[in-house]
């Protein structure tokens, strides 16, 4: 079998680093020499720059995206047993923090084109015990947030956006007003896991809000519930972004829009090259959102997903399945959801049919051509 000469990877963190190596190395060295490892000026500087970039009144850096979600849910004063609506087609962290806080994850299906929850799906699931919604901006584009916020207003529900995969994307309201994803719900959460669109060189996360009461409350909870040193008004957690990560992120933030553009250029190439294949559905771009392509995810029709994945692997092309198992079928969540429903048809179908191709900021045209030629050859064979 012919192997690719392209050394293909799902993400190319090394190639990305090499382009900004001087800036990164000197920023990291500066933190080490300052010894201000925790809560140093670099953390405040990154926080201010991220607030400006997002147009958010409050950014609270924290240790990772899962903590961000947990702190967000702690801040809105839910009671054990309250229901939180969450898509079943997402990364486990979204439901995990709900369950950890003794809340009930109310899993719902997603739209088969955008892979995101919609206002209609959410509204049908609401019960008198529902208190919050966690829409996930999956794979790099926004949920259709304007109608979701309308449903939330009508039913007095909190909205916590899981924006771990879509930092930098813009959502456009009916009136033409544009807002960054994660700043539309009451609280937004993001992850700086290295492979995310804004990736640290370790773990990191952030919470954002435009609410002047929630902002300080979130900051207090992330810092042991401490209002001033050694005075604890709330039960909190210890969740910090360290100064080295903040220094790295502050540099990478300057390139975030450029990175999104590079990902979109790769996605455009894939779209065009694969357009003629009826056996695939290329990602559907929602007209209200820009897409920052955290993942480029195909639907492979006719049950041929696993065969295609094996064929690509034989030709040196890595792919990933995000996500192979619906949340309600995970062993840890199965029992809790058992009385609720057997399965959600779209989530079930997507888990059997999706395939994500390599996409990152360093994709070259030769690699894209090799990947798409190989895909076409599979279906023509």
94 binds ligand PLP (CB under 6 A): yes
Residue 102, both tokens: 């003794």
Phi, psi (rounded to 5 degrees) for 314: -60, -25
SS3 per residue for the chain = CCCCCCCCCCCCHHHHHHHCHHHHHHHHHHHHHHCCCECCHHHHHHHHHHHHHHCCCEEEEECCHHHHHHHHHHHCCCCCCCEEEEECCCCCHHHHHHHHCCCEEEEECCCCCCCCCCHHHHHHHCCCCEEEECCECHHHECCCHHHHHHHHHHHCCEEEEECCCCCCCEEECCCCCEEECCCCCCEEEEECCCCCCCCCCCCCEEEEECCCCHHHHHHHHHECCEEECCEECCCCCECCCEHHHHHHHHHHHHCHHHHHHHHHHHHHHHHHHHCCCCCEECCCCCCCECECCCCEEEEECCCCHHHHHHHHHHCCCCCECCCCCCHHHCHHHHHHHCCCCCCCHHHHHHHHHEEEECCCCCCCHHHHHHHHHHHHHHHHC
Please say which residue, 87 or 236, places its beta carbon nearer to ligand PLP. 87
87 binds ligand PLP (CB under 6 A): no
- List the interface residues with ligand PLP, window 214-253 (CB under 6 A): none
Q: Which of 74, 84, 88, 93 binds ligand PLP (CB under 6 A)?
A: 93
Please say which residue, 133 or 375, places its beta carbon nearer to ligand PLP. 133
Distance CA 46, CA 36 (A): 14
66 binds ligand PLP (CB under 6 A): yes
Nearest CA to 2 among 379, 380, 279, 373?
373
378 binds ligand PLP (CB under 6 A): no
Please say which residue, 159 or 277, places its beta carbon nearer to ligand PLP. 159
CB of 265 to ligand PLP, least distance (A): 22
CB of 150 to ligand PLP, least distance (A): 23
Please say which residue, 250 or 368, places its beta carbon nearer to ligand PLP. 250
90 binds ligand PLP (CB under 6 A): yes
CB of 61 to ligand PLP, least distance (A): 12
Q: Which stretch binds ligand PLP (CB under 6 A): 39-47, 63-71, 262-270, 364-372?
A: 63-71
CB of 87 to ligand PLP, least distance (A): 9
255 binds ligand PLP (CB under 6 A): no
CB of 195 to ligand PLP, least distance (A): 8
Site string for ligand PLP, 168-207 (x = CB under 6 A): -----------------------x-x---------x-x--
Distance CA 173, CA 179 (A): 8
Distance CA 231, CA 172 (A): 42
Site string for ligand PLP, 9-48 (x = CB under 6 A): ----------------------------------------
**Location of structure tokens 């990364």:** 91
208 binds ligand PLP (CB under 6 A): no
Distance CA 103, CA 309 (A): 37
Site string for ligand PLP, 138-167 (x = CB under 6 A): ------------------------x-xx--
Residue 218, both tokens: 């979130």
Q: Which of 91, 139, 270, 311 binds ligand PLP (CB under 6 A)?
A: 91
How many residues in the shown chain lie near ligand PLP by CB under 6 A?
Answer: 15
65 binds ligand PLP (CB under 6 A): yes
Distance CA 201, CA 194 (A): 6
Site string for ligand PLP, 107-136 (x = CB under 6 A): -----------------------------x
353 binds ligand PLP (CB under 6 A): no
Site string for ligand PLP, 308-337 (x = CB under 6 A): ------------------------------
Q: Footprint of ligand PLP on this chain (CB under 6 A)? A: 64-66, 90-91, 93-94, 136, 162, 164-165, 191, 193, 203, 205
């Amino acid at each position: 079998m012919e192997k690719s000469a392209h050394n293909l990877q799902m993400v190319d963190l090394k190639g990305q680093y090499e382009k900004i190596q001087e800036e990164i190395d000197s920023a990291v060295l500066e933190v080490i020499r300052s010894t201000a490892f925790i809560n140093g000026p670099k953390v405040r500087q990154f926080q201010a720059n991220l607030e400006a970039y997002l147009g958010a009144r409050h950014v609270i850096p924290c240790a990772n995206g899962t903590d961000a979600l947990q702190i967000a849910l702690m801040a809105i004063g839910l009671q054990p047993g309250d229901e939180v609506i969450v898509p079943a087609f997402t990364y486990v962290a979204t439901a995990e923090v709900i369950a950890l806080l003794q809340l009930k994850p109310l899993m719902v299906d997603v739209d088969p084109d955008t892979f995101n929850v919609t206002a209609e799906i959410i509204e049908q699931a609401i019960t008198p015990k529902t208190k919050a919604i966690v829409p996930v901006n999956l794979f790099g584009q926004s949920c259709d947030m304007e109608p979701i916020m309308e449903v939330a207003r009508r039913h007095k529900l909190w909205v916590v956006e899981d924006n771990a995969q879509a930092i930098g994307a813009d959502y456009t309201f009916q009136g033409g007003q544009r807002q960054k994803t994660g700043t539309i719900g009451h609280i937004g959460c993001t992850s700086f896991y290295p492979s995310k669109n804004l990736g640290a060189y370790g773990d990191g996360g952030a919470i954002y809000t435009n609410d002047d009461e929630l902002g300080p409350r979130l900051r207090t909870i992330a810092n042991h519930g401490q209002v001033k040193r050694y005075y604890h008004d709330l039960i909190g957690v210890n969740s910090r972004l360290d100064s080295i990560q903040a220094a790295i992120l502050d540099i990478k933030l300057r390139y975030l829009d450029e990175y999104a553009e590079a990902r979109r250029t790769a996605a455009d190439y894939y779209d065009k090259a694969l357009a003629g294949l009826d056996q695939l559905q290329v990602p559907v771009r929602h007209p209200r959102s820009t897409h920052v392509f955290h993942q480029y995810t195909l639907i492979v029709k006719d049950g041929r997903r696993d065969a295609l994945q094996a064929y690509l692997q034989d030709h040196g092309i890595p792919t990933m399945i995000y996500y192979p198992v619906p949340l309600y079928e995970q062993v840890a969540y199965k029992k809790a959801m058992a009385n609720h429903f057997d399965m959600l048809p779209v989530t079930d179908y997507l888990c059997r049919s999706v395939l994500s191709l390599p996409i990152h900021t360093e994709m070259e045209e030769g690699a894209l051509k090799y990947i798409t030629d190989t895909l076409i050859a599979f279906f023509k064979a």
